[in-house]
A and B are shown apart, each in its own frame.
Chain A
């Protein structure tokens, strides 16, 4: 490949890439604004995970009864508050 061939190939590539980059097209993905509800649903999923894990670990014998009850109470309380807000937002 001579220097000229290289230059021509380079210019062709430049042209193609330029076209690709600036090709007018309106179907680009745009960001849907994340709502409070989305965020709460993510949180809920995480809290559910934590609760499932807590239950599992309890059955695997890692928590004494009283620790388990208080931890579960805490997590359930937090989740219930979250669910209340989710219910409220979904009704609106």
Chain B
């Protein structure tokens, strides 16, 4: 299977290279053949050849003469179509390689170094799939395969806009060539053990999967995150392609929108799953440690979010074209930087699962991408000329500008913090740590300002209004803001402690207050819109809200996402009130945290072929009564989940995985809307043979995960096509019933 896999990778590389080459030649021919544009572009021909040379293509060598000969023999459209098919064929080849790797994992083929190092016989089946991303070679293969998948879908749907898709497909193949080249030359996943000959002896068992990765979410989190990372290649390819071909109009944004939103959703889910994994597995009671790799995934999220917003300015008013192009270029480069940071070990991190020296490859590739971007931009910047006009400071436009300002500043802060240790070492010769305290001080105020904007933005209409006109829309949110502050103070949250300010609770109060204001503002916005529809169609408010959302799924879906973000922020703010206690617990000894009493009722050991585990059983009492919890029993008729109420017993665990001999904590979490009771088995005191238990009460953590659900829901709403005026008149009888009271459709 190793041979087959390597062969597949080689085929895929050749096909991707052909796709890039034939696509570039064909598109060049088409571009020069266009009446009117040919002459103008001809003068720039040599620049294109320099660019192609930078890409390492043969194009520079071929030159115009050969191009003419190709044109005589084959129509450029035909050539472009073979390029497209090469892309589809390439996807099949990479799938073959991925399949070969999975096959080798499942058949325990330890003659392959990668399998030996990342799997073992006793590894449960779902985690065998995880072997695909637990190491560098595998995760690069996953990257390439996902890119192939995106490209496959893109190339199949090319009839939407053949030429634009041809450009995008060719650019994607350029990215694909890079990844496949790395896989073939620098990090071959199918490399055999050194000194292994066919039929020779192979090791009896593998070294096993990193225990940190042996957790259900680890089967979902990396692919999600990679889907997000890789996905940004698509809008990037579209944007770059549209710029290269001087795409007339802004329709490419509409075409790209679904891709961008889906990608954004994957990245968001990936980040949140990563947080949940950190929370449930790393066992320190938190979910975000400002680790360089977490930061690396957060940066493209920030620029991607900025892009999603500011691209609306371009779509509606043709503004900010250059800015958007650069936003998506940077987003793509940041995803590359993220992969580089994760995979090349440039900075120290808990994600050091997969490291090596492929950093140089990435740096060179990023250099090439940046060069191509700058080059294309300089050549085609005339195409991006816009007449900017802004009617008022109080407008949706300016709120988007501020949104971009804040998101990009946040991105800069994180990039700065991540790279500062390197800068410091270079400038003053000493490495410094830039950890959570730095980000908490710098990023939290920026984040709060951003949350504030998520509420203000929706209140402002496009173009111009005066502050006076919308002043009353701010009344309710401001009341909500101060009411929350008063409630917080009333229930005993004290931002001032012992005469000095407690920054944690201060920010938390601010966050709660702003969150309440933003929620009020967004809900009021829904109701205002629904009110208009309700007046026009005589529907009740609920039906009107439903119709309102369907008429402009993108806008109101977006507002739902904003609500989700606010819910997440409420959850994050809860961390200011964390409480924890740690102690050694003998049999029947107890520990007190918040309203809970934990009683140790047994500590024991267990083992299975994959790991040994130590665990403690703790009965949980709340106000001297046994706490209850819901236990999942199974599915009725395979669909309806059944739960039953049982007394709460928590069993935190510590495992030692046999293959890797690495320890791993399994946290016990009792999750309620108001807080999580989070219990960690820290280990055994060797002197007394008693378990050491740490209990943490984390307020509002559940809100973070619930907020994610809202965000996902909102994004799905935004992905559904809106009712258009044409379909609505056919499908909404109310329009006929009340022809004199027209309903209106809101734009974005």
Contact = CB atoms under 8 A, between A and B. Distances in A.
Interface of A: 1-3, 5-7, 9-11, 13-14, 17-18, 20-23, 28-34, 39, 42-43, 46, 49-50, 52-57, 59-64, 67, 71
A35 to B, nearest CB: 9
B641 to A, nearest CB: 41
Contact of A71 (B96, B249, B391, B746): B391
B77 A28 contact: yes
A21 B747 contact: no
Contacts of A57: 461-462, 746
A13 B11 contact: yes
B2 A6 contact: yes
B368 to A, nearest CB: 26
Contacts of B86: 21
A83 to B, nearest CB: 16
B30 A2 contact: no
Contacts of B747: 49-50, 52-53, 56
Given A46-B250, A52-B746, A71-B464, A22 B82 contact: yes
A23 B532 CA distance: 58
B96 A6 contact: no
Nearest to B159: A29
Given A31-B162, A31-B163, A49-B747, A56 B532 contact: yes
Contacts of A56: 529, 532, 744-747
A58 B719 CA distance: 26
B462 A53 contact: yes
B294 interface: no
Interface of B: 1-5, 7-8, 11, 15, 18, 30, 34, 77-78, 81-82, 85-86, 88-89, 92-93, 96, 158-159, 161-163, 166, 198, 248-251, 315-316, 391, 459-466, 468-470, 473, 528-529, 531-532, 725, 744-748
Nearest to B87: A21
Contact of A64 (B92, B162, B460, B465): B465
Contacts of B92: 13, 17
Contacts of B96: 13
A30 B77 contact: yes
Given A63-B461, A64-B468, A10 B81 contact: no
A86 to B, nearest CB: 14
28 contacts: A1-B1, A6-B7, A7-B3, A7-B7, A10-B4, A13-B92, A17-B89, A17-B93, A20-B89, A21-B15, A23-B85, A29-B159, A31-B162, A34-B248, A49-B747, A50-B747, A52-B746, A53-B462, A55-B744, A56-B532, A57-B462, A57-B746, A60-B528, A60-B532, A62-B470, A64-B465, A67-B469, A71-B391
Given A28-B78, A30-B77, A30-B162, A52 B470 contact: no
